[in-house]
Amino acid sequence: MVAGYWDIHEYKFVVRIKVAKYLYFLADIKGKMNYDSIFSIVDHENQHSNLQRPYILKYSKELNTAKKAAAEASAIIREYASDESFSIELKGKNDLVTDADISAENKIIEILNEAFPEDLILAEESQARKILPEGRVWIIDPIDGTTNFAHQFPRYCVSIALWDQKTPRVGLVLEVASQELFTAVDGEGAWMNGKEIHVSQNTDPSSSLIGTGFPYNNLELVDNYLVLFKRMMEKTHGVRRPGTAAWDLCNVACGRFEGFYEYGLSPWDVAAGALIIQEAGGVICDWEGEDDWLFGERIIAGNKVIKDFLKDEIQACFQKVQLKK
């Protein structure tokens, strides 16, 4: 009936506006949302117009703010990259930082602070923390893959996550050189450049592509790590090491990799990518198969079967005491 009068898309649009007004009415009554957050919901929906669900209700202001911060940070990083005008310092052995990291991190924090002045920050270059506080915490890596950036190897990411009550709520990873944008919201799904993504359904290790990383400075587990690496070469289609854990995790989320493992990681390397995997239907654990992967430095990710395969392989190569930080 309706389609006889209106184009079906116009009809959907009108329904969406009516739903938005109704939500605004409800939110206004409850005093939980403001006018801005309703329209950032519309904004978010417009950017994910391939979705059939009417609105992304949760954390839309947070996601849009993270997108703005990532876009501005990315512009700063690209400016430094365009004439290679950055300077490099060492924080420790093989642990690089550039002035592009610092400028990008400052810009991200400025934008997040302005939008959410009450929220806490955990950031690689200026506000590293050893534990995750209660409440809302933004976990930021301005350039994940600083070594790649310093050598102008084109895989380095801005990574921004919001954790609330020790649970990931919003995740964003922007690969700066290609502008590939991965996002996720707790309970809402995961997207690559606005298109919904899912982990690979391939559960056969022998036809799987596996991602990993090599530690830069903590080499205490390397002998066993190389044994594991050999087993992976024998048992899978191949192993890749792009050099940015945040993007590695996104490659699991969109199904390019069936699984990923690494040790020596920091919370800002994994905080956003982990939610993107979970929302894409994948699973994450530490090397003991438990949940201590944010600060535990050891991570396994993948679809459920490949995650279990990787866990078994890792546990076969390391002593029990080596599985924990």
Catalytic residues: 124, 141, 143-144, 146, 269
Look at residues 245, 254, 174, 176 and name the one whose alpha carbon lies nearest to residue 211: 245
Q: How far is the CB of 121 from ligand IPD (least distance, A)?
A: 16
DSSP β-bridge partners for residue 241: none
Number of residues that bind ligand IPD (CB under 6 A): 15
If binding is defined by CB under 6 A, does position 175 make contact with ligand IPD? no
Q: How far is the CB of 91 from ligand IPD (least distance, A)?
A: 9
Alpha carbons within 13 angstroms on the beta-carbon side of residue 279 total 25
- Candidates 137-145, 161-169, 179-187, 198-206: pick the segment binding ligand IPD (CB under 6 A): 137-145
Q: Which amino acid is at 309?
A: F
Among 264, 273, 282, 296, binds ligand IPD (CB under 6 A): 264
Q: How far is the CB of 95 from ligand IPD (least distance, A)?
A: 7
Q: What residues have CB less than 8 Å from 120, skipping those under 6 apart?
A: 133, 135, 136, 137, 138
Q: How far is residue 86's CA from residue 114's CA, in Å, rounded to a whole number?
A: 27
Compose the 183-222 pattern: x for residues touching ligand IPD by CB under 6 A, - for all others. ------------------------------x-xx------
Among 125, 141, 175, 188, binds ligand IPD (CB under 6 A): 141
Q: Is 172 helix (H, G, I), strand (E, B) or coil?
A: strand
Closer CB to ligand IPD, 213 or 282, in the complex: 213
Among 168, 189, 205, 243, binds ligand IPD (CB under 6 A): 243
If binding is defined by CB under 6 A, does position 145 make contact with ligand IPD? yes
Two tokens, residue 38: 């309703």
Closer CB to ligand IPD, 127 or 147, in the complex: 147
Would you give the DSSP letter of residue 287? T
Q: How far is residue 309's CA from residue 316's CA, in Å, rounded to a whole number?
A: 11
Q: How far is the CB of 283 from ligand IPD (least distance, A)?
A: 20
Cβ-based neighbour number of residue 80 at 10 Å: 19
If binding is defined by CB under 6 A, does position 296 make contact with ligand IPD? no
196: phi then psi, degrees, rounded to nearest 5: -60, 140
If binding is defined by CB under 6 A, does position 144 make contact with ligand IPD? yes
Q: How far is residue 57's CA from residue 103's CA, in Å, rounded to a whole number?
A: 32
Q: How far is residue 309's CA from residue 141's CA, in Å, rounded to a whole number?
A: 29
Two tokens, residue 56: 């992304």
Closer CB to ligand IPD, 54 or 215, in the complex: 215
Look at residues 123, 280, 111 and name the one whose alpha carbon lies nearest to residue 186: 280
Q: How far is the CB of 146 from ligand IPD (least distance, A)?
A: 4
CB distance 284 to 308 below 8 Å: no
Compose the 53-92 pattern: x for residues touching ligand IPD by CB under 6 A, - for all others. ----------------------------------------
Q: What does the binding site for ligand IPD look like in residue numbers (CB under 6 A)?
A: 124, 141, 144-147, 213, 215-216, 243-245, 264-265, 269
